[in-house]
C-alpha cells in the first residue's frame, strides 16, 4: 500500500473516532436532559396526587408523643407478664401483681420457683379469680361498685380462693362481704357447709349467723310498728341477728308498707339495704302504694308521697347498678302515657280506685322532677353493658320525664345510644326546649342534634337568644 493510501486510511479512522465521540457526547447530553425532564414530570405527578388525596381523603390527627406513666396502674402495665394456669386456663398476669400474691410470688423466685408456668386449681370460676386480680390491679375493695360480688355463693368461693392464695389477710373486706351476702335460708345453708374450707376468722363471721336467736313471732308487725328511732334501732338489731332466716315475702310486704309514708321511708330504705336483694327491693317498691299517676292528689292519693320515694328509688337503682344490673329497676321508673282526669280517687296498693267498683291500674312512676339525676347518671355509668337496654327504656318515657332526668352526665354516659332517647324528647317541643341549653346541644351527636333542633324551630320564639342561635346552627 502506498503512503498516500495509508494516510487516507488513518484520516478515515480518526474521522470515524471523532464522529463516534461526538455521538456519544450528544447521547449523554440527551440522556441527562431526558432524566431531568422525567424527574420533573414525576414531581409534578406526585404533587397532583397529593393534592387529590387532601381533597378526597380525611387526615387523621397526629399521634401524641408518649408520656411517662404517672400512676401505679400504668406503671404496672409496663412490666412483663407471666403465664399462669388457673383451673386449666392460661392467663397472662403482670409480675407486679403476681408478686403481691404470696402463692405466685413463691413460684416466681426462690426455692419454690417453677420452671414452667405457675399453676393452681382454685375453688372459684375464672371470672371470680379475675375479680381478685382486678382487686390488686385497681386497688378498689371487693364489693364496691367497681368490683361487685353478686351472690353469697360467689362471696364464699372468693373467700376460699383468697385463703388458698394466702391473700385473705390482705383483703379486710372479706368478712363484711360474706356477712352482707347472706340474705336467704339457702344462703345460710351454703355458709354453714363452707365453714371448714374457710380461715378461722372468716368462719367465725359466718358461724355467728348459725347461732342466731329465735325469730320474733310476728316480724311484719314488729317492723311496721317501729316508728320511733329507738324502736327502729332495736328492731334492726333483732333482724340483723336473724339474718338469713327471715321470710323474704314478709320483708318485702313490710318494706312496701313503710314506703307508703314519708315518715317511714328512711326506715324502709335501711331494711332493704340490710336484708333484701336488689330483686326483692324492687318488689318492695312495686308492692308500695306508689303506682298511681293522678295529677293533683286528692284525699289519700299516693301522688303526695312520690317525691321522697323518688329519691329513695334513684338510690335503689344505683345499688342495683353496683350489683351488676339496673335495667329491671329502670323499668319501674317509666311513667304512664297519660294521666286520668277524675274527681275523686282513693289509693290502694298500686292502683287508683274510681267510685265504688271501677278502678284503673297504671305503671309505677318513680322518675320525676324530684329524682336526683346525678344518682341515675352514676347508675348507668356503672353498667355500660346495659346502655342499649336503658336507652330503649328511656325512649318509652314521657318527654317531660326525660327532660327531668337527662342531665349532662347521663348524656355523656349514653353516648351512641342517645338516638332513640333524643327522638322521644323531641316529640314534645316545649319539654325539649325546657331541657335544651347550648352546652347540651354541643354534647349531642350531630344526627341527634339535627333531629332535636328541627323540632325546636316550632318554639324558636320562646328560646333565649343564645339557644336560638345554637338551634339554627344545629340544623345547618
The mean pLDDT of the chain is 79
CA distance linking residue 15 with residue 19, whole number of Å: 6
pLDDT in tens, 102-120: 888 888 776 666 656 778 8
Mean pLDDT of the 229-245 span = 82
pTM: 0.60
Least confidently predicted of 287-301, 314-328, 359-373 = 287-301
The pLDDT score that the predictor gives to residue 360 is: 39
pLDDT in tens, 154-187: 999 999 999 999 998 889 999 888 888 887 778 8
Do 109 and 223 sit in the same domain of this protein?
A: no
Do 116 and 164 sit in the same domain of this protein?
A: yes
Do 171 and 240 sit in the same domain of this protein?
A: no
Do 125 and 154 sit in the same domain of this protein?
A: yes
Do 221 and 168 sit in the same domain of this protein?
A: no
Contact, 148 vs 323, CB < 8 A? yes
Mean pLDDT of the 378-393 span = 91
CA distance linking residue 320 with residue 325, whole number of Å: 6
Longest dimension (CA), the chain: 152
Do 196 and 138 sit in the same domain of this protein?
A: yes
- Percentage of residues in the chain having pLDDT higher than 70: 78
Please tell me the total count of domains within the chain.
3
Gap between the terminal Cα atoms of the chain: 100
Do 198 and 81 sit in the same domain of this protein?
A: yes
Do 229 and 198 sit in the same domain of this protein?
A: no
The pLDDT score that the predictor gives to residue 421 is: 95
The pLDDT score that the predictor gives to residue 418 is: 92
Structural domain boundaries enclosing 26:
1-44
User: Is 241 within a domain?
Assistant: yes
Q: What is the CATH number of the domain that holds 119?
A: 3.30.710.10
User: Is 323 within a domain?
Assistant: no
CA distance linking residue 142 with residue 165, whole number of Å: 16
Do 139 and 247 sit in the same domain of this protein?
A: no
User: Is 404 within a domain?
Assistant: no
User: Is 127 within a domain?
Assistant: yes
Contact, 209 vs 181, CB < 8 A? no
Do 220 and 206 sit in the same domain of this protein?
A: no
The pLDDT score that the predictor gives to residue 58 is: 54
Amino acid at each position: 500500500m502506498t503512503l498516500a493510501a495509508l494516510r487516507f486510511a488513518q484520516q478515515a479512522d480518526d474521522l470515524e473516532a471523532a464522529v463516534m465521540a461526538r455521538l456519544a457526547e450528544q447521547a449523554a447530553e440527551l440522556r441527562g436532559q431526558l432524566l431531568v425532564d422525567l424527574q420533573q414530570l414525576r414531581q409534578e405527578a406526585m404533587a397532583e396526587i397529593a393534592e387529590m388525596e387532601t381533597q378526597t381523603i380525611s387526615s387523621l390527627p397526629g399521634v401524641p408523643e408518649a408520656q411517662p406513666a404517672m400512676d401505679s396502674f400504668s406503671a404496672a402495665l409496663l412490666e412483663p407478664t407471666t403465664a399462669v394456669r388457673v383451673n386449666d386456663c392460661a392467663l397472662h398476669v403482670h409480675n407486679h401483681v403476681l408478686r403481691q400474691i404470696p402463692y405466685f410470688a413463691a413460684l416466681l423466685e426462690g426455692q419454690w420457683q417453677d420452671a414452667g408456668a405457675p399453676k393452681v386449681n382454685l375453688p372459684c370460676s375464672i371470672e371470680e379469680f379475675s375479680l381478685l386480680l382486678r382487686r390488686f390491679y385497681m386497688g378498689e375493695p371487693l364489693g364496691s361498685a367497681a368490683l361487685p360480688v353478686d351472690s353469697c355463693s360467689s362471696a364464699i368461693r372468693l373467700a376460699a380462693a383468697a385463703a388458698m392464695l394466702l391473700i385473705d389477710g390482705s383483703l379486710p373486706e372479706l368478712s363484711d362481704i360474706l356477712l352482707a351476702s347472706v340474705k336467704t335460708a339457702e344462703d345460710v345453708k351454703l355458709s354453714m357447709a363452707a365453714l371448714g374450707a374457710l380461715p378461722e376468722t372468716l368462719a367465725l363471721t359466718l358461724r355467728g349467723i348459725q347461732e342466731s336467736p329465735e325469730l320474733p313471732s310476728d316480724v311484719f308487725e314488729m317492723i311496721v310498728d317501729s316508728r320511733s328511732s329507738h324502736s327502729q334501732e332495736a328492731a334492726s338489731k333483732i333482724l340483723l341477728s336473724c339474718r338469713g332466716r327471715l321470710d323474704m315475702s314478709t320483708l318485702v310486704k313490710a318494706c312496701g308498707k313503710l314506703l307508703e309514708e314519708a315518715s317511714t321511708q328512711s326506715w324502709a330504705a335501711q331494711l332493704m339495704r340490710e336484708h333484701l336483694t336488689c330483686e326483692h327491693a324492687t318488689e318492695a317498691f312495686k308492692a308500695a302504694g306508689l303506682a298511681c299517676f293522678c295529677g293533683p292528689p286528692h284525699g289519700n292519693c299516693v301522688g303526695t308521697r312520690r317525691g321522697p320515694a323518688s329519691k329513695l328509688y334513684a338510690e335503689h337503682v344505683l345499688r342495683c347498678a353496683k350489683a351488676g344490673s339496673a335495667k329491671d329497676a329502670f323499668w319501674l321508673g317509666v311513667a304512664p302515657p297519660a294521666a286520668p282526669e277524675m274527681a275523686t280517687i282513693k289509693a290502694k296498693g298500686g292502683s287508683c280506685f274510681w267510685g265504688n267498683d271501677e278502678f284503673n291500674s297504671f305503671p309505677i312512676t318513680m322518675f320525676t322532677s324530684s329524682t336526683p339525676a346525678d344518682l341515675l347518671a352514676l347508675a348507668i355509668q356503672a353498667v355500660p353493658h346495659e346502655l342499649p337496654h336503658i336507652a330503649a327504656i328511656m325512649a318509652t318515657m314521657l318527654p317531660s320525664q326525660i327532660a327531668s332526668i337527662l342531665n349532662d352526665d347521663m348524656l355523656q354516659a349514653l353516648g351512641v345510644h342517645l338516638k332513640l332517647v333524643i327522638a322521644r324528647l323531641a316529640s314534645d317541643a316545649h319539654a325539649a326546649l325546657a331541657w335544651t341549653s347550648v352546652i347540651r346541644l354541643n354534647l349531642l351527636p350531630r344526627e341527634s342534634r339535627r333531629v332535636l333542633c328541627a323540632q325546636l324551630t316550632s318554639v324558636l320564639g320562646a328560646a333565649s337568644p343564645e339557644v336560638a342561635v345554637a338551634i339554627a346552627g344545629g340544623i345547618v
